[in-house]
């Protein structure tokens, strides 16, 4: 008998579909995390600005922990200890939770910088025109401060896109995990990683280009 068991096979068209599906999963975990993280981070930045001493003593150290501890450690610790407190989360939910908190910690300082970019005289002028505190934030601070820190936020957003690859350690089949699976089967790391890099570029490039166009429009 000359039966042969083949453990490896070449790259097939179906593998490209597999990578595309993994890219969608990457975009999904990234999109949810960057949206929630930006909202929560903006609130935290506002608290840091308005709370000052109180926020510096309570909120700031917590944010520093999430900024300082490597993301992969946060992911593994949360995924393994969450069930102990009764949180039975799947890899996707666990990844979203940690990426959201991590993003919020990064965005908090960006948001605070945006608020500080709006001078006190301008804000006092807005209040003297009859604007309430919340109207001042919406119509003065948000447009001016948001434009000032928009490039920094784009940098955070693109960084989180790349950091989302670390969710693969939880077993979530995103782009990096799918690449590892295909490399193990095809033994073609150069091809697979080149395709994965192309997918990451395709996901990131539109964000950077759209951000550049917005900045040019604001500069006119």
Global pTM reads 0.86
pLDDT in tens, 31-40: 999 999 999 9
Is residue 115 domain-resident?
yes
Angle in degrees, CA 26, 32, 33, rounded to 5: 85
Is residue 60 domain-resident?
yes
pLDDT in tens, 86-124: 888 888 999 999 999 999 999 999 999 888 888 778 888
Share of the chain above pLDDT 70, in %: 93
Backbone angles phi, psi at 45, to 5 degrees: -65, -40
Report DSSP state, residue 200: H
Look up residue 154 and give its two tokens: 């784009």
Shortest CA distance to 22 belongs to which of 208, 199, 207, 202? 199
**Could you tell me the CATH number of the domain that includes residue 79?**
1.10.3720.10
Is residue 165 domain-resident?
yes
Is residue 12 domain-resident?
no
Q: Are 174 and 92 in contact (CB under 8 A)?
A: no
In the chain, the number of structural domains is 1
Q: Name the residue with tokens 């790259």.
A: 11
């Amino acid at each position: 008998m000359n039966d042969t068991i083949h453990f490896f096979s070449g790259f097939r068209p179906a593998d490209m579909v597999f990578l595309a599906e993994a890219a969608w999963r990457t975009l999904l975990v990234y999109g949810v995390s960057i949206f929630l993280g930006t909202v929560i981070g903006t609130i935290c930045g506002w608290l840091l600005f308005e709370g000052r001493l109180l926020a510096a003593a309570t909120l700031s150290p917590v944010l520093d922990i999430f900024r300082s501890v490597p993301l992969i450690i946060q992911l593994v610790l949360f995924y393994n200890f969450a069930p102990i407190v009764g949180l039975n989360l799947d890899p996707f939910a666990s990844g979203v939770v940690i990426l959201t908190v991590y993003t919020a910690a990064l965005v908090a300082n960006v948001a605070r910088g945006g608020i500080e970019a709006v001078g006190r005289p301008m804000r006092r002028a807005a209040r003297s025109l009859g604007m309430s505190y919340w109207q001042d934030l919406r119509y003065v601070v948000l447009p001016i401060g948001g434009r000032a820190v928009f490039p920094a936020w784009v940098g955070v957003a693109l960084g989180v896109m790349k950091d989302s690859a670390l969710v693969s350690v939880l077993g979530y089949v995103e782009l990096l995990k799918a690449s590892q699976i295909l490399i193990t089967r095809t033994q073609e790391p150069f091809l697979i990683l080149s395709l994965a890099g192309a997918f990451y570029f395709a996901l990131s490039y539109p964000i950077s280009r759209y951000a550049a166009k917005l900045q040019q429009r604001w500069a006119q």
